[in-house]
Structure 1
Amino acid sequence: MRAVVFEDFGKPLRIRDVPEPVPAHDGAFIRVEATGLCRSDWHGWMGHVPDIALPHVPGHELSGVVESVGAGVANWRPGDRITVPFICACGRCGACVRGAQQVCERQEQPGFTHWGSFAEYVAVRHADVNLVALPDSMPFATAASLGCRFATAFRAVVGQGRVRPGEWVAVHGCGGVGLSAVMIAVACGARVVAVDVSPGALELAGRLGATVCVDASAPTVSGGVAEAVREATGGGAHLSLDALGAQATCANSVASLRRQGRHVQVGLVPAGVRLPMDRVVALELEILGSHGMPAHAYPEMMALVASGVLRPELLVTTELGLDDVPAALAALGSASGTGVTGVTGPTGVTVIRPHDRVNSA
């Protein structure tokens, strides 16, 4: 099969012919129709993610069609349209038994623990636990954005964040996860303050329904981002999310909260991040983490997408062909695009074939 491969961290990525993956007894062999291009893929390529064995095929946000299944798979058949959470669970450990597959003790992640979806095919183990059915009406490009960024934002806002109608929600960082969080919070009846340094990202956040947009780089934010959020919300956000993962965004998110507010950390932060713990104690703030969403929790989100209440397709601002991935992935180290970049799979989203290129849209 054709795939994007790197043989050393940070070295050139190439399109190569490599052996097809072999599905496990309880696994599925999937034809990739679309896959997302995420900054996490760049971190893996740069060697920032432990335990990646070389050579490696990245890619972890995917949708496609089941080609074949192992003898131990009960619920899936060839031809089924599917997507997959970026955290694939074992289904048997203590966390999985509790329904918390997103923190599975033996979790696997396509594109990190094994070869991923920047390829014509990908293999997923424990198919009965990890595959999610797609309605025929959902385009593969839309579905590919669900497995990581959109599902992660949904659980962060609705599950961990416990958002309520009328509350103020601050979203720090309006990349793929952040913009998804803006859309989801607005759909839940919340008022949103979007924070970013990119005018394009803030413009899109406004179009998605953000009530207030704060340019974190603007000189007019003289009192700081947190003060700007507190002023805009009349005392602070009820719920605030760090969707980027940095010292500044994490600390600003906590400092943006009103009394007894809730901070949800979504973006991975570097070691040694400092938080205003005096404020956490004095205002009785909640500090929560959020790590993906298990396959069994998808139906609620999928129903809202099917009904049109949530429209993740609006976040897909660019489509690329597989041949364009090496350059696009490398570029993530120097610039961050607006919205979600969708990489059309080998058979394409709109009748795209393996050798075709898709121009940016």
Structure 2
Amino acid sequence: MRAAVLEEHGEPLAIRDVDYPEPGPDQVVVETEACGICRSDWHAWKGDWEWMGISPEPGQIFGHEPAGVVSEVGDDVETLSEGDRVTVPFHLGDGTCPYCQNGQANVCDTGMPLGFIDGAPGAYAEAFPVREADFNATKLPDGVEYEEMAALGCRFMTAYHGIADRANIRPGDVVAVHGCGGVGLSAIHIANALGAIPIAVDVQEEKLDRAENLGAAATINGAKIDDVPGEVQAANDGRGVDVAVDALGIQETCHNSVMSLGKTGTHVQIGLTEGDTGGELSLPVDMMTLQELDFHGSYGMPLNRYDELFRLIERGTLDPQKIIGQTLSLEEAPETLASMDDYETVGIPVITEF
């Protein structure tokens, strides 16, 4: 089968013929119908995450936002059959640890990030295997298309978990989203759909225009002003916002997000850092203490939240398709991934031709 394979960090992925996966007893093989290209793939491709033990080796197949059809089933799999339409979370849990048992499989003790390590080859390929398939594979409702499921796969569901669960927003809350890539635009759409008032911050007008179309009540171009938190507050009648999201993961956006909050506000960290930070950013801790600000991380989404997301999609409340920026072929994946060096992608690119 064909796959886009890592040859060297920072060098274009190579389209190669590789062996078709064979399922272990607890696994299924899924033929890929769609897979998003995510900035997390870009981080791994650049070699950013050595500090946390994720440094993909040559030969790794990326791709962690998939949807497809079960083509082969391991002997011990009980709930899936050939032909089932499925998706899987990018954080493949073992199904047995205390977190998996408590409905928090996104932070599984032995979680395997799909597409980032050798034991979990990803979906920039015609097919990919899924560990503990009975636990990890989720059947798609009839009304959910592969393409929109791939858009939901990492960025959309992470934004949903961050906005709905970690920040616990309420109708009328003002939410500032710093960084309008795929996860930031998802956060704008979700906040608006759940009755909050989103404010979008980015440095590219095209992304701010997209945010406005997705429901942003105000947009702020951070490249044109010196005081982003002050401008966010000005957009909210001079007051700090209720919730602020760093959807990029650099020092500037994290700091601006925290500083744009009002007293007792909530910061949600979704964006992960780049390689030169070692995973650490500085914070105004005294101000956070005196104003009783909350700081929450948001990583993926627990598996038990899929049903709610599907219901909201089926009702038309949420529409992941709105976040898709382009559809492309597997051959176009290397160039599209590399273009994230300069933040060129708008919305979520999705591979639909393999």
Alpha-carbon distance in structure 2 between the residues aligned to 1:53 and 1:20: 19
The answer to whether the Cα contact below 8 Å between 1:32 and 1:345 also exists between their aligned partners in 2 is no
Q: Which amino acid aligns with 2:249?
A: G
Alpha-carbon distance in structure 2 between the residues aligned to 1:240 and 1:131: 32
- For residue 38 of structure 1, report the CA deviation from its aligned partner: 1.1
Correspondence for 1:134 = 140
Match for 1:146 among 152, 155, 168?
152
Alpha-carbon distance in structure 2 between the residues aligned to 1:144 and 1:43: 19
RMSD: 1.2
- For residue 53 of structure 1, report the CA deviation from its aligned partner: 3.0
Alpha-carbon distance in structure 1 between the residues aligned to 2:302 and 2:223: 36
Correspondence for 2:178 = 172
3-state secondary structure, aligned to 2:113: coil
The answer to whether the Cα contact below 8 Å between 1:35 and 1:345 also exists between their aligned partners in 2 is no
Correspondence for 1:64 = 68
Match for 1:158 among 154, 159, 164?
164
The answer to whether the Cα contact below 8 Å between 2:33 and 2:146 also exists between their aligned partners in 1 is yes
Q: Which amino acid aligns with 1:286?
A: D
Q: What do the CA deviations read for 1:203-253 (whole angstroms, capped 9, x no partner)?
A: 0110111101111111xx34x111111121131111111011110110111
Q: Which amino acid aligns with 2:94?
A: C
Match for 1:231 among 218, 234, 252?
234
- For residue 336 of structure 1, report the CA deviation from its aligned partner: 2.8
- For residue 136 of structure 1, report the CA deviation from its aligned partner: 2.2
Q: What do the CA deviations read for 1:125-147 (whole angstroms, capped 9, x no partner)?
A: 01111112212222211110111
When residues 177 and 12 of structure 1 are mapped into structure 2, their CA distance, relative to the original with a 3 A threshold, is closer
3-state secondary structure, aligned to 2:112: coil
- For residue 322 of structure 1, report the CA deviation from its aligned partner: 0.9
**Is residue 300 of structure 1 aligned with residue 304 of structure 2?**
no
Alignment of 1:163-202 (within 5 A): 163-202=169-208
- For residue 8 of structure 1, report the CA deviation from its aligned partner: 2.3
Correspondence for 2:250 = 246
Alpha-carbon distance in structure 2 between the residues aligned to 1:210 and 1:331: 26
Identity %: 42
Q: What do the CA deviations read for 1:247-292 (whole angstroms, capped 9, x no partner)?
A: 0110111111111000010011333311111110111000111100
Length-normalised TM-score, structure 1: 0.92
The answer to whether the Cα contact below 8 Å between 2:5 and 2:58 also exists between their aligned partners in 1 is no
3-state secondary structure, aligned to 2:198: strand
Alignment of 1:113-128 (within 5 A): 113=117, 114-128=120-134
- For residue 335 of structure 1, report the CA deviation from its aligned partner: 3.2
Alpha-carbon distance in structure 1 between the residues aligned to 2:259 and 2:266: 11
- For residue 194 of structure 1, report the CA deviation from its aligned partner: 0.6
Q: Which ranges of structure 1 fall in alignment gaps of 5 or more residues?
A: 347-361
Match for 1:310 among 318, 326, 342?
318
The answer to whether the Cα contact below 8 Å between 1:84 and 1:295 also exists between their aligned partners in 2 is no
3-state secondary structure, aligned to 1:138: coil
The answer to whether the Cα contact below 8 Å between 2:103 and 2:303 also exists between their aligned partners in 1 is no
Moved more, 118-127 or 322-331: 322-331
Alpha-carbon distance in structure 1 between the residues aligned to 2:8 and 2:250: 26
Alpha-carbon distance in structure 2 between the residues aligned to 1:71 and 1:226: 56
When residues 335 and 285 of structure 1 are mapped into structure 2, their CA distance, relative to the original with a 3 A threshold, is closer
Q: Which ranges of structure 2 fall in alignment gaps of 5 or more residues?
A: none
**Is residue 105 of structure 1 aligned with residue 109 of structure 2?**
yes
**Is residue 8 of structure 1 aligned with residue 12 of structure 2?**
no
Q: Which amino acid aligns with 2:259?
A: A
The answer to whether the Cα contact below 8 Å between 1:120 and 1:345 also exists between their aligned partners in 2 is no
Alpha-carbon distance in structure 1 between the residues aligned to 2:232 and 2:45: 35
The answer to whether the Cα contact below 8 Å between 1:263 and 1:287 also exists between their aligned partners in 2 is yes
Alpha-carbon distance in structure 2 between the residues aligned to 1:275 and 1:259: 16
Alpha-carbon distance in structure 1 between the residues aligned to 2:112 and 2:255: 30
Alpha-carbon distance in structure 2 between the residues aligned to 1:51 and 1:213: 36
Alpha-carbon distance in structure 2 between the residues aligned to 1:80 and 1:160: 32
Correspondence for 1:215 = 221
The answer to whether the Cα contact below 8 Å between 1:25 and 1:70 also exists between their aligned partners in 2 is yes
3-state secondary structure, aligned to 1:333: helix
Correspondence for 1:41 = 41
